[in-house]
Amino acid sequence: MSGEAAATAGGTPPEASQAVRGFCSPPGLAEVIRDLYLDEKTGTLVLSRSGVEKRILLDRGMILASSSSLPDENLAHVLVAHGWMRPEESEALKGLDDRQVGETAARRGLLTPMTLQQANRDLAQRILTALFRWDEIEFRFEEGPVTAGLLETDVVVSFEMIIRALRTMSGFEPIREALLRQDRTLRLSDQIYLPVDRLTLAPIEGFLLSRVDGQTKVRDVLAQMPTADEEAATRFLFGLLILGLVNFVPAISAGPLSCGDLVRGDEEKRKREDRERAEVLEFYRTVRDGTPQAILGILEGTSQDQVKTAYLERKERYQPARFMKKVQQDLKEELQIIEARLLESFLKVRSEKLGAARAAGTSTEKVVSLDLESLSLRKELTKTERQSMEEEKSRMADQFFAKARDYFKMADYFNCIRYCEFATSYSDKNAAVFGLLGQALMRNPDYRWQKKAENAFLRAAELEPFNPGHLVALGHFYKSHGLFAKARKEYEKTLELMPGHAEALSSLRELEKMK
């Protein structure tokens, strides 16, 4: 909202609310109608754009009826469209306003009170839906009594109209992005002024409402929705929030939710996310294409101590925990690769410097006096550093293996192979990694991939010769290629280790049947 509305639509003194006027976007229109309802205002909300004027009659803040200056948005047109009135009867009522058309048609017996009520609500829905598709709306509220005639309304009808209109509202993208950025949880309002159970909801809307339990966030709720329904679910959730049926915990600001606060509230957070994302991606490009020296930010003549310091500083700088949660989630893979390449670069530079020092004979042959206690301590410190490096490499291998398993479950075998190879580059002692690598490689019928798969299965069996699972997997591999003698041999090896192995016994029986 803008203009005077920004000062009046948030619960101001009654005197000020007499002059509610200004400009608003479609999301802000829902906010205006909600505030008029909360203040129980009766009067006419006049909305205009480019010479077109539409009016919404409010009875204690509830939508009673709507009218429009457009020729196809009137009650007679709706009655004809529904088949409740003939075109010639509609022509005879030209010049009358919608209330007069309804009353005249009812007196002539053309409409029952229920049909008239439904026609007016259909017209109001049509006008409201069209309003929410405007880019910018000029509005003013004229407080005063309205003539209801035969019409009735209630809060359920009013809010259902708004929720339906939000389904095709324009200008929703900033709202959607702001909702998805929220780390606040969602909870049903403690002061619900609307009987939610009376709302006519689409199946996806009812399911979404049931997910609001005080623990989940917007993205958690939407993650449970089918992709095709995510946009509709987000719009419905916005409707619940702006109408006050659902609240953020903690609240973004005091009082009812404001579209301005929702979009602006996380502006600093969004800017920080953008800065962090740009920083990570820029360094990721260096890590992907740069030399070890460029990755560590050092020169050729840097000493070993300086190399270690540079590594530790960069490792600390690109620890995932230092970045905002959304950056951690969106760039999880890049951060893992950065961590791995930093360690790889450090080990490579350190190895090169140690090798160069040995080749140059820089280890002097000075006679020095060393006491045994100092020598022992130095040896222990060196051992601890070496163990620390090995543990770091092992940890990185485990991380890549976990990622490879995830990709295998998603049937993304290309990335599964890629991460298995990352894992083996840090540690080639994990049989499970080679077993998974074999399973992924054998999905590609190319001979070279099949040969790599066989080697992976053989390596897994070599690392864990007493694990029957690797032998069975190798047997299945041979069986799939028609190498039945080799398959039999692996199944028999399995039974030597575990005589009652059900899968090996079953596979041997199948081989017998193939003879």
Q: Do residues 146 and 46 touch, judged by C-beta distance below 8 A? A: no
Task: Residue 194: name the closest of 165, 162, 231 by CA.
Answer: 162
Residues 6+ apart with CB under 8 A from 242: 27, 30, 31, 34, 256, 257, 259
Q: Do residues 102 and 142 touch, judged by C-beta distance below 8 A? A: no
The structure tokens listed for 297 are: 């930010």
* Element of type H or E holding 134: none
Q: How far apart are CA 183 and CA 219, in angstroms?
A: 9
Coil/strand/helix, residue 63: strand
Q: How far apart are CA 384 and CA 390, in angstroms?
A: 10
Q: Show me where the domains of the chain are located.
A: 5-151, 172-265, 267-358
Query: 91-98: which pairs have CB atoms within 8 A and are 24 or more residues apart?
Result: 97/67, 98/65, 98/67, 98/74, 98/123
Q: Any idea what DSSP says for residue 298?
A: -
Q: How far apart are CA 178 and CA 160, in angstroms?
A: 24
Radius of gyration of the chain (CA): 36
Instruction: List the pLDDT tens digit at each of the 515 positions of the chain.
Output: 444 333 333 333 334 344 588 998 898 898 999 899 888 899 999 999 988 999 999 998 899 889 898 888 888 888 888 888 888 877 877 778 887 888 888 888 877 888 888 888 899 999 999 999 998 899 999 999 887 666 778 788 888 899 899 999 998 888 988 888 888 899 888 776 666 667 777 788 888 888 888 888 888 888 888 888 889 999 999 998 988 888 898 888 778 888 888 887 666 677 788 889 999 999 999 988 889 889 999 888 888 888 888 888 898 889 888 888 888 888 888 888 898 888 888 888 888 877 776 677 654 434 444 454 554 545 444 556 567 677 778 888 888 898 888 888 888 888 899 889 888 888 888 999 999 999 999 888 877 888 999 999 999 999 998 888 889 999 999 988 888 889 999 999 988 888 888 888 988 888 888 76
Provide the pLDDT for residue 361.
65
Provide the pLDDT for residue 7.
33
For 368, phi and psi rounded to 5 degrees?
-125, 155
Provide the pLDDT for residue 453.
92
Residues 6+ apart with CB under 8 A from 357: 363
CATH fold of the domain at 267-358:
Helix Hairpins (1.10.287)
For 132, phi and psi rounded to 5 degrees?
-70, -5
Provide the pLDDT for residue 149.
66
Provide the pLDDT for residue 83.
85
Q: How far apart are CA 256 and CA 397, in angstroms?
A: 50
Name residue, tokens 């791995």. Answer: 340
